[in-house]
Structure 1
């Protein structure tokens, strides 16, 4: 039973993530943000959602919010590329 519910959860997350990417590509940023945020509501440590939500904020020039999401990502994974991105974004704030 738990295995089935885990698979269902993963499927829902994958669908939401795919929708977030689709909306992002279509420049429907509000809808994209909504999908990523829903993923984070159920799992605040979802690295893909944190990373892509940071990227979404960056594209919209919401640099402070982008920095927040990227920093949250960095709490869970060391990534020099993301750290460099945060440093560049800080220069824009």
Structure 2
């Protein structure tokens, strides 16, 4: 899910309302909603928290086309790939 609020509509709590509604709909269908974003995306992390998601873990996200890298690069643990810290969250029990 991606949320973008146009500039003149910001600060009206539209994004949290949208994310909360979608999270509740996903949970009502028997699925576990999830959220991930960069650890540097403070607004995204705050939005997730406000909508009822809680941090599960942080991880390093490798960006790039894996098949485009030569075999020698792939065998060295992905040397040369851009790394970006990311996190994964899950809806807290009882927040559906």
TM-score, normalised to structure 1's length?
Answer: 0.34
TM-score, normalised to structure 2's length?
Answer: 0.33
Higher RCO structure, 1 or 2 (CA under 8 Å, sep 6+): 2
